[in-house]
Every structure is written in structure tokens, then in C-alpha cells.
């Protein structure tokens, strides 16, 4: 399918695919087993300039946008959704700096993030504030020239590995979510520690940890935007980052389809390749159609964002829902194509099925996404009637 | 440090076929790549630059499409690229290739300090090399020809030392270089003076992948072409005319057939093998 990629975008895609093939594929199974963080791959991605693609050129990026980030995430996910997540989550942590950072903050962090010298992470979720993100309890009390953070963030991707964390905390707890702010916290700030590394079902090569703040003092200049903008910044950030999750899902699904197709072609039963049976053909045809539809919607969402369109919540949520549901379905079907072998760890598709599941859950569950879509639909309807 | 890396564009040998009638390689539909050993040379050149500063220039002799290999080298981190290309160079064997590359390197290195304008009469062998080439790197051999002769040949033509099969550059200090040369069993530690030609083995490093910035630079890069007339050299020694070696025949060796397998415990199979050899009139002498 022709998605009218520019020469630069094709170049990005091909290089990401080459890295996935040559540097990631050989270590996928091992990292899935050990859960070790893929620093070697991160270094390769950095050296190849892939962290630069979505960062403005004024800050040593290559000036692309969400679409360029999505291309990279998709190609990496095709081989390993876990390693791709480490890249995507750094993007998630970087987006609020790009969108709301002061010139000084951008100059301080973006060039190093672009070079891939450091990773970023985004801290919103708490033990009791998941889908109800407005229920966060972490505080950042103003005190002179500082904010003093207390509280715990949960399931933070790149936790412990990233050097810079964008954390949503209450600067004015009395005002609830309207008193929330987004604050940059650097690793190694006194009072900032990490909880245990989570033992996950999938995306095991990615690091997921708690961020623990105990009287952690950061300068007031570390705030993004203004006090009280925390929740807004978080929502705007997630609107932009969700196509990244969708791309991860598309990549995982495409990877599973690649494997299923190759297997169906070489596996013989009843004296014929199983790809010659209609039952198998229909399965593969549906998988391919769903992946292509998911990709088309994801690309459309990413391009809408990059075009500067204001209200992208709906399309961004649609891409995330559709692509992640597709990934779950396609990877499950891929295991089916492999039959008993598909259930075994020696074969690659059971991992893809495990990796796919999280895309329906994180960065807003698919139930929350549907709520976002519906609320926007109703809003648009009411507006049209006026 | 001025590094020149000589590369060769070769067919991807994972799918090489030979036309049995013409005895030549079938080039149609075969992807061209940088000779893999040369990729290690390029990577080493870039690492020398990263450590000691300077520039890396890639050089290749070949048809116009060899510029693609040079662009790839730029995307991998080389600073400059020069294509040595002329109909007069066509059909060169290793002798003529080494001669031509040496003439090109001499040109790139510039005139040596203290020599008057102009070049010596006739062929310039043995004349000192200019300051534009401290280290000349290449792979130990090309995967299509497999001769390993061009590196030493270039050094001889330039009148400078060469060391083949380098597995490590230990130190570069002033005009002295210390390297490890891979041997069949172990390695030799050698020191020599610059300028020098080094050919490398794949143990020397792990080549990096291209970068986006490199690819963008490669797309825009102007690649100058050196023609025969621009080289201070003897035209009789270029290309087919300058090549004493002639390829009589290239062929795919027939797959070995027949043979006999001895299976079982070595205590039995060794005896059976010896008996078989003895019956074929081959005797094994005991030491």
C-alpha cells in the first residue's frame, strides 16, 4: 500500500527496519527471558539519529513530528514490542517538553534527548489513579524557590533508566485536579528513588518501575507551563502520544502476520502447505486486512496531529483503540496458525501475543478511549446543532 | 590524522551466479554492496578520526555506479569520497588496480613538502607521499576476487610500508603506529612508521549502522571523479593494457559426488578407513 511517504520518511523507516533486523532480532528471545534493559540497542538507535526524528531542528533534532516517531516505533515493534516501547516512552516523556517547555528547558534537555544520550519518562499513573487520572495524590508543595514532592507514581515505563521525568503532581491539593502541575524531575535528585522492577506478562525488555518521592526538592523553574496546568498538559501529551501506542500495536500485529504467513507456507499437513487450505487463507486474509486498516487509521491520526489540527483527542483515541484491538486479535490468530508450535516459547508468536495485550491497557485503557471518542462525538453533534 | 579508506563495490555473494557460456558473473538483478571487509576498514578509519581527529576519505575505482558505494560510506560516517573512474581503467587486474589506486592516493595526498612545483618525470614510484594521507586502510581482500593483493600492491607503488590482516590498532603516536596482525595461531605485534597501508580482518571491530544525518549528507554529497588524464602516471599501466593477468575461465566447481561415509565407533571406523585407503594404493606412514 502506498502511504505517500516522503524520501526522508522512507529513509527513517528503512533504517529503523535495518536496526530491528540486524541488532534487535538476534536478542529478542533472550531479553524476553531476562527482562534486561536494552541499552545496547538504545545506543544503536542514538548513533543512527533515530531519537532525533521527532525533535525540532532548533534543538538538534531532525524536525519531524509524531508521524516520524510512529514510523520508527512500528518498525521496531515488528521485531520487538518491548524494545520499541523504551523508545516510544522516551518520546512520551519528551513531548510535554516540546509542547510546553520554556526556551531554557528545551535548550537544557532536548539536544541531549535528540542525541539519545539520555532517555525521558512520563509519570502520571498512581496506585489509586489509573483510568481516574484526576485522582492523583502525589503532591509538589511550593516552598520558596522550590517544589517539594511527596508520593508514588506506579508502572512508569523507563523508570530507573531515564534521566529526566515529567511528573504530574498536585501543587495545590485543595483545588484537586485543577491544582495539578507538570514538573521535571531529574534522576539522582535527593529524595527521588525507584521501586522494584515489575515482572510483566509481556514487553519484558522494557523497564517498568515505581517512582518514589520523599521530600524531593526541585527548583521552581522545573515546572512545565504554569501551576494548575498539570492535567491539561498530561491530556494534551497523551493525545499526541497515543498514535505511538497504535504504531506499536500495528508493528506487533505486522510482525505476527509476517511470521504466520511464512509458517503457513512452509508447514505441510495432509501432504500440502497449510497455506493452501481455505480455512487458513481466510484467517490470513482477515489478519492482513485488519493490520492494513489499523495502519491507515494510525497514520491518519499521526498526520492530523502533525498538520497542527487542534482537536485530535478523538482520532488519536480511535487509532489507539482500533490498532491495539487489532494487535490482540491478529497475534492470537497468529498463534492459531502456528498451532501447537505457536504455544511454545521456542517459536516467536506467543511473545507477540503477550506483548500485544498491554497496548489495550496502557496510555488509557480501551474503555477510557471509547469514552473519549463518545464524548467527542456528542460534543461535535451538539456543536453542529447550534 | 588523514585517513584514506579504499573500498570496492562487489556483488552480494550470497546469490552469485556464473554464466556458464561466457564464464562471467551474472550481474543482472544482483545487489551491489560494499565489500564487507572494507566496511571494517571504514569503521576503523572513523574510529581513528573520533580518537585523533582529522578526516576520512573513501576512495574506489570502478564504473560510475560505484558512486553508490561511496554514498553509502558517507552515510556510515566518511567525510569525503572520490571515485576513480575512466574507461581506460576497465579490465584492470590487481597489478593495474594497485597502480591506479596508488596514483589516485598520491594525487589526494598532494605534493610532498619541500618539493618544487610539478612532479618527477615519468612514473612517480618511490617519490615521497604528500601529507594528505597518513593511514590508508582497506579490507584484507574483496569477496569477489579474494586475492588480497591490492593493499600490498598500493603500498609498494607508494613506496611506503604495509601490514596486512590487522586485528587491532594498538596505538598511534606521532608518526609511529603499533598494530596487532592476525596469524594462524595467535598474533604478531608490529610497529611501523606513517604513512602506512593497513589491511584489516573482521575481528578488528563491529561496524556501525548508518545514521540519518549521514544518509542526508550522502544524498547531497558531491562526489568528484578522477579520470585517467588527471593522474600523474603511465597510461600503459592502466586497465586491461596494464594487466598481465588474464582470466581464462570462471566456473562453478561441480558439486562433489559419491564418496563413502564411515559411521560408527572411531575404534572401528578408523581401521575401516585405513583398509579402504590401503586397498586404493594409498599408504599411511607412521611417524
CB contact under 8 A, B212 and A22: no
Average the pLDDT over B171-184 and give the result.
Answer: 94
The pLDDT of residue B255: 78
Between these two residues, A372 and B29, which has the higher pLDDT value?
A: A372
Which CA distances in Å does A291 have to A96, A222, A328?
A: 30, 41, 11
Our answer to whether residue A363 is catalytic in this structure is yes
Which CA distances in Å does A264 have to A205, A280, A341?
A: 28, 8, 12
Which CATH superfamily includes the segment(s) A232-385? Butyryl-CoA Dehydrogenase, subunit A, domain 3 (1.20.140.10)
Minimum distance, in Å, between the CA of residue A140 and any CA atom of chain B: 40
Q: Does A47 touch chain B (CB under 8 A)?
A: yes
**What DSSP string describes A272-313?**
EEGGGSHHHHHHHHHHHHHHHHHHHHHHHHHHHHHTT-S--H
In the sheet with B187-193, reading across from the earlier edge strand, the strands are: B187-193, B176-182, B162-173, B196-200, B135-139, B2-6, B55-61, B80-84, B225-226
Average the pLDDT over B145-168 and give the result.
Answer: 93
Residues of B with CB under 8 A from a CB of A: 208-216
Between these two residues, A77 and B239, which has the higher pLDDT value?
A: A77
Note if the bond before B195 is cis, omega within 30 degrees: yes
CB contact under 8 A, B212 and A44: no
Q: Which of B36, B39, B206, B212 best probes binding to A when mutated, by most A CB atoms within 10 angstroms?
A: B212
The burial class, CB within 10 Å (0-12 / 13-18 / 19+), for A29 is middle
CA quadruple B114, B116, B119, B124: dihedral positive or negative?
negative
The burial class, CB within 10 Å (0-12 / 13-18 / 19+), for B236 is exposed
Per-residue pLDDT reduced to its tens digit, B182-210: 999 999 999 999 999 999 999 999 999 99
How far from the centroid of its chain's Cα atoms is residue B167's Cα? 15
Give the containing element (helix H, strand E) for B108: helix B94-109
Q: Does A42 touch chain B (CB under 8 A)?
A: no
CA distance B85 to A93: 50
CB contact under 8 A, A49 and B208: no
Please report, for chain A, the start and end positions of each structural domain, with discontinuous segments joined by +.
7-119, 121-230, 232-385
pLDDT over 60 at B119, yes or no: no
CB contact under 8 A, A53 and B213: no
Q: In 10 A of CB A314, how many CB atoms?
A: 20
Q: Does A367 touch chain B (CB under 8 A)?
A: no
CA distance B124 to B132: 16
CA distance B224 to A28: 43
Between these two residues, B287 and B68, which has the higher pLDDT value?
A: B68
Give the containing element (helix H, strand E) for B273: helix B266-279
Residue keyed to cell 501529551: A237
Q: Which of A156, A85, A82 is nearest to A352 (CA)?
A: A82
Reported as a pLDDT band with limits 50, 70 and 90, residue B24 is low
Q: Does A20 touch chain B (CB under 8 A)?
A: no
CATH code for the domain defined by A7-119: 1.10.540.10
In total, chain A counts a number of residues equal to 386
The pLDDT of residue B121: 46
Q: Which of A231, A92, A69 is nearest to A156 (CA)?
A: A92
Which CA distances in Å does B225 have to A171, A335, B108, B134?
A: 65, 55, 12, 22
Minimum distance, in Å, between the CA of residue A49 and any CA atom of chain B: 6
The pLDDT of residue B127: 63
Q: Give contacts of B208 with chain A, Cβ < 8 Å.
A: 44, 47-48
Minimum distance, in Å, between the CA of residue B214 and any CA atom of chain A: 8
Which of B209, B212, B214 lies nearest to residue A22, judging by beta carbons? B209
Beta-bridge mates of residue B10: B33
Which of A23, A44, A49 lies nearest to residue B212, judging by beta carbons? A49
The pLDDT of residue B145: 80
What would the grid cell of residue A264 be?
503457513
The burial class, CB within 10 Å (0-12 / 13-18 / 19+), for B287 is exposed
Which of A11, A22, A44 lies nearest to residue B212, judging by beta carbons? A11
The catalytic residue among A75, A198, A350, A363 is A363
pLDDT over 50 at B122, yes or no: no
- Closest alpha carbon within chain B to A60: B213
Q: Could you list the pLDDT tens digit for every one of the 386 residues in chain A?
A: 899 999 999 999 999 999 999 999 999 999 999 999 999 999 999 999 999 999 999 999 999 999 999 999 999 999 999 999 999 999 999 999 999 999 999 999 999 999 999 999 999 999 999 998 889 999 999 999 999 999 999 999 999 999 999 999 999 999 999 999 999 999 999 999 999 899 999 999 999 999 999 999 999 999 999 999 999 999 999 999 999 999 999 999 999 999 999 999 999 999 999 999 999 999 999 999 999 999 999 999 999 999 999 899 999 999 999 999 999 999 999 999 999 999 999 999 999 999 999 999 999 999 999 999 999 999 999 999 98
CA distance B224 to A195: 58
CA distance A76 to A38: 13
- CATH topology assigned to domain A121-230: Butyryl-CoA Dehydrogenase, subunit A; domain 2 (2.40.110)
The SS3 of residue B90 is coil
Q: Which of A303, A305, A295, A302 is nearest to A327 (CA)?
A: A295
The pLDDT of residue B15: 67
Cite the beta strand spans of chain A per DSSP E. 120-123, 139-143, 146-157, 164-170, 180-186, 192-197, 208-219, 223-224, 268-269, 272-273
Compute the count of residue pairs across chains A and B with CB atoms less than 8 Å apart. 34
Give the up-direction half-sphere exposure of residue B20: CA atoms within 13 A in the CB hemisphere: 3
Prediction pTM value: 0.86
Per-residue pLDDT reduced to its tens digit, B33-91: 999 999 999 999 999 999 999 999 999 999 999 999 999 999 999 999 999 999 999 88
What would the grid cell of residue B207 be?
561496524
CA distance A282 to A266: 17
CB contact under 8 A, B212 and A48: yes
CA distance B97 to B92: 6
Q: Give contacts of B210 with chain A, Cβ < 8 Å.
A: 15, 18, 48
Q: Which of A74, A96, A83 is nearest to A32 (CA)?
A: A83
Q: Does A291 touch chain B (CB under 8 A)?
A: no
Between these two residues, A352 and B29, which has the higher pLDDT value?
A: A352
Q: Give contacts of B211 with chain A, Cβ < 8 Å.
A: 47-49
Beta-bridge mates of residue A193: A212
pLDDT over 80 at B107, yes or no: yes
Reported as a pLDDT band with limits 50, 70 and 90, residue B114 is low
**What DSSP string describes B38-72?**
HHHHHHHHHHHHHHH--EEEEEEES-GGGHHHHHH
CA distance A270 to A145: 76
What would the grid cell of residue A4 be?
505517500
For chain B, list the domains and their CATH numbers: 2-237 (3.40.50.620)
What would the grid cell of residue B257 be?
559426488
How far from the centroid of its chain's Cα atoms is residue A27's Cα? 21
CB contact under 8 A, A53 and B212: yes
CA distance A351 to A201: 9
CA distance A363 to A88: 12
Q: Does A292 touch chain B (CB under 8 A)?
A: no
Q: Does A69 touch chain B (CB under 8 A)?
A: no
CA distance B42 to B138: 8
Minimum distance, in Å, between the CA of residue A45 and any CA atom of chain B: 9
> Could you give the angle at which helices A313-338 and A278-306 cross, rounded to 10 degrees?
160
Cite the beta strand spans of A187-256 per DSSP E. 192-197, 208-219, 223-224
Amino acid at each position: 500500500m502506498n502511504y505517500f511517504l516522503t524520501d526522508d520518511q522512507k529513509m527513517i523507516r528503512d533504517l529503523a527496519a535495518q536496526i530491528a533486523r540486524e541488532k534487535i532480532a538476534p536478542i529478542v528471545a533472550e531479553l524476553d527471558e531476562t527482562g534486561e534493559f536494552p541499552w545496547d540497542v538504545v545506543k544503536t538507535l542514538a548513533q543512527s539519529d533515530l531519537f532525533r526524528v521527532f525533535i525540532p531542528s532548533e534543538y538538534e533534532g531532525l524536525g519531524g513530528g509524531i508521524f516520524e516517531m510512529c514510523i520508527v516505533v512500528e518498525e521496531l515493534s515488528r521485531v520487538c514490542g518491548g524494545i520499541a516501547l523504551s523508545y516510544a516512552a522516551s518520546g512520551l516523556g519528551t513531548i510535554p517538553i516540546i509542547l510546553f517547555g520554556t526556551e531554557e528547558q528545551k535548550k537544557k534537555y532536548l539536544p541531549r534527548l535528540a542525541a539519545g544520550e539520555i532517555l525521558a519518562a512520563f509519570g502520571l499513573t498512581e496506585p489509586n489513579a489509573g483510568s481516574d487520572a484526576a485522582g492523583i495524590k502525589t503532591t509538589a508543595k511550593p516552598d520558596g524557590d522550590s517544589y517539594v514532592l511527596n508520593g508514588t507514581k506506579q508502572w512508569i515505563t523507563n523508570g530507573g533508566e531515564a534521566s529526566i521525568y515529567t511528573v504530574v503532581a498536585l501543587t495545590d491539593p485543595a483545588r484537586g485536579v485543577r491544582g495539578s502541575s507538570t514538573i521535571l524531575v531529574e534522576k539522582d535528585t535527593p529524595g527521588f528513588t525507584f521501586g522494584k522492577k515489575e515482572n510483566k506478562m509481556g514487553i519484558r525488555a522494557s523497564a517498568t518501575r515505581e517512582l518514589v518521592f520523599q521530600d524531593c526538592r526541585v527548583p521552581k523553574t522545573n515546572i512545565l507551563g504554569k501551576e494548575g496546568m498539570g492535567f491539561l498538559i498530561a491530556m494534551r501529551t497523551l493525545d499526541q502520544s497515543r498514535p505511538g501506542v497504535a504504531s506499536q500495536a500495528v508493528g506487533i500485529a505486522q510482525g505476527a502476520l509476517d511470521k504466520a504467513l511464512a509458517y503457513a507456507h512452509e508447514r505441510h499437513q495432509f501432504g500440502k502447505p497449510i497455506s493452501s487450505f481455505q480455512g487458513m487463507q481466510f484467517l490470513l486474509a482477515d489478519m492482513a486486512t485488519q493490520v492494513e486498516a489499523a495502519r491507515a487509521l494510525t497514520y491518519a491520526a499521526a498526520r492530523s496531529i502533525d498538520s497542527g489540527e487542534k482537536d485530535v483527542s478523538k482520532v488519536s483515541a480511535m487509532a489507539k483503540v482500533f490498532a491495539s484491538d487489532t494487535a490482540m486479535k491478529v497475534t492470537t490468530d497468529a498463534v492459531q496458525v502456528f498451532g501447537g508450535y505457536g504455544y511454545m516459547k521456542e517459536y516467536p508468536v506467543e511473545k507477540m501475543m503477550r506483548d500485544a495485550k498491554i497496548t489495550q491497557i496502557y496510555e488509557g485503557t480501551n474503555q477510557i478511549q471509547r469514552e473519549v471518542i463518545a464524548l467527542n462525538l456528542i460534543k461535535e453533534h451538539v456543536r453542529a446543532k447550534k | 590524522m588523514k585517513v584514506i579508506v579504499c573500498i570496492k563495490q562487489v556483488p552480494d555473494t550470497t546469490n552469485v551466479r556464473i554464466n556458464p557460456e561466457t564464464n562471467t558473473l551474472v550481474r543482472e538483478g544482483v545487489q551491489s554492496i560494499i565489500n564487507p571487509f572494507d566496511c571494517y576498514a571504514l569503521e576503523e578509519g572513523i574510529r581513528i578520526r573520533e580518537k585523533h581527529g582529522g578526516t576520512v576519505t573513501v576512495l574506489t575505482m570502478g564504473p560510475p555506479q560505484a558512486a553508490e558505494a561511496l554514498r553509502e560510506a558517507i552515510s556510515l560516517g566518511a567525510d569525503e569520497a572520490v571515485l576513480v573512474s575512466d574507461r581506460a581503467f576497465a579490465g584492470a587486474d590487481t597489478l593495474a588496480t594497485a597502480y591506479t589506486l596508488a596514483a589516485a592516493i598520491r594525487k589526494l595526498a598532494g605534493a610532498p613538502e619541500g618539493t618544487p612545483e610539478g612532479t618527477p618525470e615519468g612514473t612517480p614510484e618511490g617519490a615521497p607521499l604528500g601529507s594528505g594521507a597518513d593511514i590508508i586502510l582497506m579490507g584484507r581482500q574483496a569477496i569477489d576476487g579474494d586475492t588480497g593483493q591490492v593493499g600490498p600492491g598500493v603500498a609498494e607503488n607508494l613506496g611506503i610500508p604495509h601490514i596486512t590482516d590487522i586485528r587491532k590498532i594498538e596505538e598511534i603516536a606521532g608518526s609511529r603506529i603499533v598494530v596487532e596482525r592476525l596469524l594462524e595461531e595467535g598474533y604478531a605485534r608490529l610497529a611501523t612508521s606513517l604513512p602506512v597501508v593497513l589491511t584489516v580482518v573482521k575481528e578488528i571491530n563491529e561496524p556501525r549502522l548508518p545514521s540519518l544525518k549521514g544518509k542526508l549528507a550522502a544524498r547531497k554529497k558531491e562526489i568528484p571523479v578522477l579520470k585517467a588524464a588527471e593522474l600523474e602516471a603511465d597510461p600503459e599501466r592502466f586497465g586491461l593494457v596494464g594487466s598481465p593477468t588474464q582470466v581464462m575461465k570462471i566456473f562453478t566447481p561441480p558439486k562433489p559426488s559419491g564418496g563413502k561415509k564411515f559411521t560408527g565407533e572411531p575404534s572401528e571406523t578408523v581401521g575401516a578407513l585405513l583398509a579402504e585407503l590401503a586397498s586404493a594404493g594409498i599408504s599411511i606412514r607412521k611417524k
